[in-house]
Chain A
C-alpha cells in the first residue's frame, strides 16, 4: 500500500502546485476540475452561437447572412451536445463525487481518466479547426446525403471531432461502470448507493453501449464525403434512412446521457434540502435502469416523417409512450419526497425544483411529438426545439448548476454567496421560460426549425424569445463571477455545510489527495434525514444534529 497518512494532511488542491502536477495528475478530483475548465470553455462558445442565433431571429430580416446563420446553429448544436451537455455532469461532478460517494480512494483506472481528458481536448481542437476554417452548415445531425454530397462546410473535420470525442465518452463511461462494480466501500450495497451514483452508473452504461455506433456512423459519413463514394447515396443503391437509423440509435440515448445524471443530482438535492429520505428509493433506482434500457427502443420516433414504414412508426411510437412510466415515477417521487419536509429554498434546491417543473413540461410535450399523427404537424418545427431544450437546458443545465452549487464547498472548501446564487437560480428559471415557452407557440403555429427568416406576424413571439435569451445569458454568466469571487473571499465551509448524509461529506473540504484516511464502512441507507427532529445519519453511521 502507498502510505495514505502522508497525503492526508493536505488537500488535493494543496498537495502540489506545479503546472505539471495538474497536467499529469491521476487524481480524479483534479481531473474533474480539468474537465470543468474544458467544458466551461465550450459552453461559452456554444452559448455565443446561441446568442447570435437569437439576435438574428429578433427580426424577420435578421442580421447574419443565411449561410452564416446555418453555420451558427450547426456549431451551436455540435458544441452543446458533444462538448458540453454529454460530458457536463459525468466528467465534472461525476468524476469528482463518484469515488467519494462510494468510499473509494480513486477511480478504477486513473490513467484512463486522464487520457479521456486529453482525448476530449484533442477532439475539441479538431472541432475548433473546423469552426475557424468556416464551420459546417449541416446541423448537429449530419444528415446524408446533404452532409456528404452537397454541404460546402468542413464536415469531415467536424465528424472527425465527434468521432474522437466518442472515445473520451467511452473511456469515462467504462471507468465509472467498472469503478461502481468493483470499488464500493464495504457495506455499500447496490441498494445503499446514493441515487447520484445510480445516475452516473446508468449513464455510463448508455455511453458504453451507444457511443460506438455513433463512431461508426460519423466515420462512414466522413468516408463517404472524403472518398466521394456513396455509402448512403440512393443513386448507388444506398439508403439515407440507414444513416438515420444508426445515427439515432446513438443520438436518442444521447439525450438520456444528458438527463440520467441530472436526475441523480436532483435526487440528492431534493432529499437534502427537504430533510427527507427520498420517497420510493427502490423505484427511483429501477426507474433509472429502465430508462437506460428503454432509451434504446425508441430512436425511430425521430424518423416518423422521414419515410420509415408506418408499422415501424407504430412500434416506435408505442415504445416511446412506455418511457413516460419511469419518468413519471421519478417526478411523482421527487414531489412526494417534499411532503412534510423541512424545506429550505437554498440555491441548489431552487435549481432542483426548477428542474422538476421544466422536466415535466419537456416530458409531457415529448408525449405529444411521440404521437404519430401529431408529429406530422410538429416535426421539424420550433415545437420540437422547445421540447428538447426543456429537457436539455431546463433539465440538464439546471441540474448541473444545482449540483455545482451543492458540491462547490466540497470542491473548493468555500461557501458561495447564497443571495447571489438564489438570484441567479431564479433568473435562470425566468429567462429560460421566456426563451423557450414562446417557441412552443411558434412551433405550433408552424414556424420551421433551422430557417433563417420567418413571416412578420411571428415577430412578437420571436422578440419575447430573444429577450428571454439575453436574460438567460446573463443568468449563466453570473455564477462565473460570484463563484470565482468565493474562491478567494468565500466563507470556509467545513466538511459538511449542508448536513448531508453522503460519504463525500464525511471527509475534509476540500478532500485530501486520496479522499479518506481509511476506507469507510457503510452501515446506513442513503438519505437518512429526519425532518421532525432535523437530525440525520450519514452513511457511515455518524449521526449529526
Chain B
C-alpha cells in the first residue's frame, strides 16, 4: 500500500496536493517568460525585416508543423482523460491514456526529427549548412536561428514531459496514484499541457508567416 500520510509541513494530503499544483503553476509562469523572451526577439526582428521573415518562413515545412500541432492538441486531451481516470480510480483506463499521451509525444519528436533532417537537406541550418535562397534577404538567417532555438527548447521540454509520463506509468504500476492522492499526475498534466501551449504559439510564428 502507498504511504498516504502528508509530509511533515502539511496538515492534510489535500493541502499537499494543492500546494504541489500551485508550485507547478508558478513554474509555468517562469516558463512563460522564458519562451516569451525568445518570441519577443522574434517579433522585434520580424517587424524589422518582414520580407526576409516571410521568405524564410515559406521554407519551413508546413505539413510537419501542422501534423505536430494536431498531435499535441490531441495529447492534451488524452492527458486530461488520464487524470479523470485516476480520479475515478480506473487504473486500466489511466494506463491506456497515459500510454497514448506518451506515444503522441514520441511521434511528435519523430516528426520533428524528420523535419530537422529535411531542413538540413534544404540548407537552412545556420552555422552548419546554410545557403541563402536566390533573392532572399540575408536577415532570413535570423528567422532560422530563432526556429532552431525555439524548436530545440520545445523538443527538450517535450522529452522531459515524455519521461515524466513514463514515470507516472511506473507509479501507476506501483499503485501510487489512487483517487485519494493523484496530485503528482495532475502536476505532470499541467506541465504537459503547457508545453502544448508553447507549440500553439510557435506554430503561427514559424509556419504561417509567409504563406500568402
A and B, one complex?
yes
Interface residues of A (CB under 8 A from B): 1-2, 4, 99, 104-110, 112, 170, 174-175, 177-178, 181-183, 208-213, 215-217, 219-220, 223, 227-231, 236-239, 242, 246, 249, 514, 519
Question: 1/0 per position for B29-51, CB-CB distance to A under 8 A?
Answer: 11101111110110011001100
For this complex, 19 residue pairs linking A to B, each with C-beta atoms less than 8 Å apart, are A106-B9, A109-B20, A170-B30, A174-B23, A178-B19, A178-B22, A183-B19, A208-B26, A212-B30, A212-B33, A216-B38, A219-B149, A223-B145, A228-B127, A236-B138, A236-B141, A237-B49, A242-B41, A514-B8
* CB-CB under 8 A for A183 and B33, given A108-B19, A174-B27: no
The verdict on B70 contacting chain A, using a C-beta distance below 8 Å, is no
Q: Are A2 and B8 in contact (CB under 8 A)?
A: yes
CB of A182 within 8 A of CB of B37, answer: no
On chain A, the residues within 8 Å of B10 by CB distance are: 183
Contact partners of A227 in chain B: CB under 8 A:
126-128
**Complex formed: what's the CA distance from A212 to B36 in Å?**
9
Which A residues touch B9, using CB under 8 A?
99, 104-108, 110, 183
Most central of A99, A228, A231 by chain B CB within 10 Å:
A231
- Distance in Å from the Cβ of A179 to the closest Cβ of chain B? 8
Contacts A183-B9, A227-B127; A174 near B48 (Cβ below 8 A): no
Q: Which residue of A lies closest to B10 (CB)?
A: A183
- Give the Cβ gap from B102 to chain A, nearest Cβ, in Å: 24
| A7 (CB) vs chain B CBs: closest residue | B8
Query: With A105-B9, A229-B127 in contact, is A209–B142 under 8 Å at CB?
Result: no
Residue of A with least CB distance to B32: A212
- Contact B8–A1 (Cβ < 8 Å): yes
- From residue B4, how far is it (CB to closest CB) to chain A in Å? 11
Q: Please tell me if the beta carbons of A106 and B8 are within 8 angstroms of each other in the complex.
A: yes
B15 at the interface (CB under 8 A from A): yes
Q: Is the CB of A2 within 8 A of B5?
A: yes
Chain A nearest Cβ from B20, distance in angstroms:
8
Interface residue B197 (Cβ < 8 Å from any Cβ of A): no
| B binding-site residues for A, Cβ under 8 Å | 5-11, 15, 18-20, 22-23, 26-27, 29-31, 33-38, 40-41, 44-45, 48-49, 52, 126-128, 138-139, 141-142, 145, 149
A108-B19, A514-B8 as given contacts; A209 in contact with B29, CB under 8 Å: yes
In the complex formed, the residue of B with least CB distance to A170 is B30
CA–CA, A177 and B19, complex, Å: 11
Distance from B212 Cβ to chain A, minimum over Cβ atoms (Å): 23
Q: Tell me how far the C-beta of B168 lies from the nearest C-beta in chain A, rounded to whole angstroms.
A: 17
CB distance from B153 to the nearest CB of A (A): 9
Residues in B with CB closer than 8 Å to A213 are 33-34, 36-37
B127 touches A105 (CB 8 A): no
What separation, in Å, do the CA atoms of A178 and B25 have in the docked complex? 10
Task: Compute how far the CA of A231 lies from the CA of B41 in the bound complex, rounded to whole angstroms.
Answer: 9
B19: which A residues are within 8 A, CB to CB?
A: 108, 178, 182-183
Q: Are B8 and A4 in contact, with the CB atoms below 8 A?
A: yes
Q: 7 new A-B pairs (CB below 8 Å) besides A230-B141, A237-B139?
A: A4-B8, A208-B30, A209-B29, A215-B34, A227-B126, A236-B142, A237-B142
The reply to whether A182 and B26 form a contact with Cβ atoms under 8 Å apart is no
Contacts of B37 in A (CB 8 A): 212-213, 216-217, 246, 249
Q: Is the CB of A220 within 8 A of B8?
A: no
Q: Which of A4, A181, A236 contacts B22 (CB 8 A)?
A: A181
**Closest residue on chain A to residue B15 by CB atoms:** A182
Complex Cα gap A236–B56 (Å): 15
The smallest C-beta distance from A440 to any residue of chain B, in angstroms, reads: 35
A234 shortest CB reach to chain B, Å: 11
Whole-angstrom distance from the CB of A206 to the nearest CB of chain B?
Answer: 12
Distance, CA A4 to CA B11, complexed state (A):
13
Residues on A with beta carbons closer than 8 Å to the beta carbon of B138: 236-237
Which residue of chain B has the shortest Cβ distance to A2 in the bound complex?
B8
With a cutoff of 8 Å between Cβ atoms, the chain A residues found around residue B8 in the complex are 1-2, 4, 105-106, 514
Please tell me if the beta carbons of B23 and A109 are within 8 angstroms of each other in the complex.
Answer: yes
Task: Looking at the assembled complex, report how far the CB atom of A251 sits from the nearest CB atom of chain B, in whole angstroms.
Answer: 13
CA distance A2 to B10 in the complex (A): 10
How far, in whole Å, are A242 and B34 apart by their CA atoms in the complex?
15
Whole-angstrom distance between the Cβ of B3 and the nearest chain A Cβ? 10
Chain B residues closer than 8 Å to A177, beta-carbon distance: 26
B6, B15, B145: which contacts A231 (Cβ < 8 A)?
B145
Closest chain-B Cβ to A341's Cβ sits at a distance in Å of 36
> Which residues of A are found within 8 Å of B29, using beta-carbon distances?
208-209
B33 engages A209 (CB within 8 Å): yes
- What is the minimal beta-carbon distance from A77 to any residue of chain B, in angstroms? 22
CB distance from A153 to the nearest CB of B (A): 21
Instruction: Kindly provide the distance from the CB of A235 to the nearest chain B CB, expressed in whole angstroms.
Output: 9
- Docked pose: A220 CA to B8 CA in angstroms: 42
Q: Which residue of A lies closest to B26 (CB)?
A: A174
Q: Are B30 and A174 in contact, CB atoms less than 8 angstroms apart?
A: yes
In the bound assembly, the distance between CA atoms of A219 and B149 in angstroms comes to 10
Residues on A with C-beta less than 8 A from B49 are: 237
B38: min CB distance to chain A, Å: 5
| B33 contacts A239, C-beta separation under 8 Å | no
Q: How far is the CB of B157 from chain A (nearest CB, A)?
A: 13
Tell me, in angstroms, the Cα distance from A114 to B154 when the chains sit together.
27
Enumerate the 4 nearest inter-chain pairs by beta-carbon distance, A residue then B residue, closest first.
A212-B34, A237-B139, A227-B127, A106-B9
- Residue contact A182 to B44, C-beta cutoff 8 Å: no
- A2 to B7, alpha carbons, bound, how many Å? 7
Q: Which of B18, B23, B31, B127 has the most CB of A within 10 A?
A: B23
The docked-state distance in angstroms from the alpha carbon of A83 to that of B92 is 49
A211 and B139 CA atoms in complex are apart in Å by 29
A227-B126, A227-B127, A242-B44 known; A220+B23 contact, CB < 8 A: no
Task: Please name all residues of chain B whose beta carbon is closer than 8 Å to the beta carbon of A211 when the two chains form the complex.
Answer: 30
Tell me which of B7, B36, B44, B141 contacts A239 (CB under 8 A).
B44
B6, B9, B149 — most chain A CB neighbours (10 Å): B9
Residues on B with beta carbons closer than 8 Å to the beta carbon of A2: 5, 7-8
Closest to B44 in A: A242
Instruction: Indicate if the CB atoms of B34 and A223 lie closer than 8 Å.
Output: no
Distance from A421 Cβ to chain B, minimum over Cβ atoms (Å): 33
**Interchain CA distance A170-B15 in the complex, whole Å:** 22
CA A213 to CA B127, docked complex, whole Å: 24
Q: Is the CB of A1 within 8 A of B34?
A: no
- B45 → A minimal CB distance (Å): 7
Per the bound structure, the CA–CA distance linking A443 and B38 in Å amounts to: 36
